[in-house]
Amino acid sequence: MVLGMKKLIAGNWKMNGTAAAARALAGEIADGLTARPGLRERCDVLICPPHVHIEAVMETIRSKAAGLISIGGQDCAPEENGAFTGDISAAMLADLGCNYVILGHSERRQHRQESDELIAAKAAAAHAKGLIAIICVGETEKDRDSGLQTAVVGTQLSHSLPPGATAQNTVIAYEPVWAIGTGKTATPGDVGSMHGFIRKKLKERLEDSAFMRILYGGSVKPDNAAALFAVENVDGGLIGGASLKAGQFLDIAKGT
């Protein structure tokens, strides 16, 4: 990590909760962060609620902790607008006040058959509207057992980043699929070698590769966060399950 670069702690709420629950959770996170000035000096905080709850969360954050927490979407369409029933455009997320969008999460790659090329098109659409794309990559357990983890992640990186990607508009999230929601975490050693590999790959194509944040995700919890965040080239975390509990999410941020 480059000196002075703040870590990013991002909560991915996935498809959970009612609007009332989203307001309550955002409120608890906002209160916790306002009460701990040291924490917000140390890291940037982002929450990505389900799209239908973004407005409720945005209102809560604006009233309790304006400017302290960024809000993002969990996906966007590659097209700008039009006849795409059920989809959400990057412009709509930007219009709500979002700064980020998660793209290519392994759950979308796996259950919605998203390809690297589709993810790159979505990222280009996000960039065009001024959003920072968090592009997710990661190998399955089978890939790792066959020693293919760097080959798989290398291919995902080569094809999921659009031509205009820079450290200003793109964040990478390395999330080994076998560690997501399973309680199994990659060891700091494995994380270090994969993040080092990702940094090297980024350097091959980007001038500002040293400044591109690379997050780790997959069963990050308060008790393993500090060890993971201490690893070289780990510039923050993408947190799933533990981001649904304000106390745990804030304790994870404390590990930065």
Give the residue numbers marked as catalytic. 105, 175
214 CB burial (10 A radius; 0-12, 13-18, 19+): buried
- The DSSP letter of residue 133 is E
Nearer Cβ to ligand PGA (60/248)? 248
Could you tell me which stretch among 22-30, 45-53, 55-63, 218-226 binds ligand PGA (CB under 6 A)? 218-226
Q: Indicate the burial class of 74 (C-beta count within 10 angstroms; 0-12, 13-18, 19 or more).
A: buried
For residue 180, the minimal CB distance to ligand PGA (Å) is 4
Taking the least distance from each CB to ligand PGA, the nearer of 10 and 91 is 10
Scanning the chain, the segments in alpha helix (DSSP H) are 19-35, 37-42, 54-65, 90-96, 106-111, 116-128, 141-145, 149-160, 188-205, 222-229, 246-254
Closest approach, Cβ 75 to ligand PGA, in A, equals 13
Interface segment toward ligand PGA; rule CB under 6 A; list 38-46, 93-101, 195-203, 234-242: 234-242
The nearer residue to ligand PGA, 91 or 178, going by C-beta atoms, is: 178
At 191, the amino acid letter reads V
Is 234 one of the binding residues for ligand PGA (CB under 6 A)? no
Residue 181 binds to ligand PGA (criterion: CB under 6 A):
yes
**CA-based nearest residue to 186, from 136, 234, 235, 134:** 234
138 binds ligand PGA (CB under 6 A): no
**220 touches ligand PGA by CB under 6 A:** yes
Region binding ligand PGA by CB under 6 A among candidate stretches 28-36, 74-82, 113-121, 232-240: 232-240
The reply on whether position 238 binds ligand PGA by CB under 6 A is yes
Counting contacts by CB under 6 A, is residue 241 touching ligand PGA? yes
Q: In this structure, which long-range contacts are made by residues 206-211, counting pairs with CB atoms below 8 Å and at least 24 apart in sequence?
A: 206/165, 206/166, 206/167, 208/166, 208/167, 208/168, 209/167, 210/2, 210/167, 211/2, 211/5, 211/167
> Looking at 31-39, 108-116, 122-130, 237-245, which segment touches ligand PGA (CB under 6 A)?
237-245
Which one of residues 60, 169, 219, 233 is an interface residue with ligand PGA (CB under 6 A)?
Answer: 219
User: Distance between terminal CA atoms of the chain?
Assistant: 12
Residue 63, CA distances (Å) to 26, 52, 56, 67, 139 in order: 11, 19, 11, 10, 40
Told to check if 11 binds ligand PGA by CB under 6 A, we report no
Closest approach of Cβ 237 to ligand PGA, in Å? 8
Closest residue to ligand PGA, based on beta-carbon distance: 240
CB-nearer residue toward ligand PGA: 91 or 133:
133
Q: How far is CA 203 from the centre of its chain?
A: 21
Nearer to ligand PGA, 70 or 91 (CB): 70
In the block, tokens 């205009």 appear at 164
Residues in touch with ligand PGA (CB under 6 A): 12, 175, 180-181, 217-220, 238-242
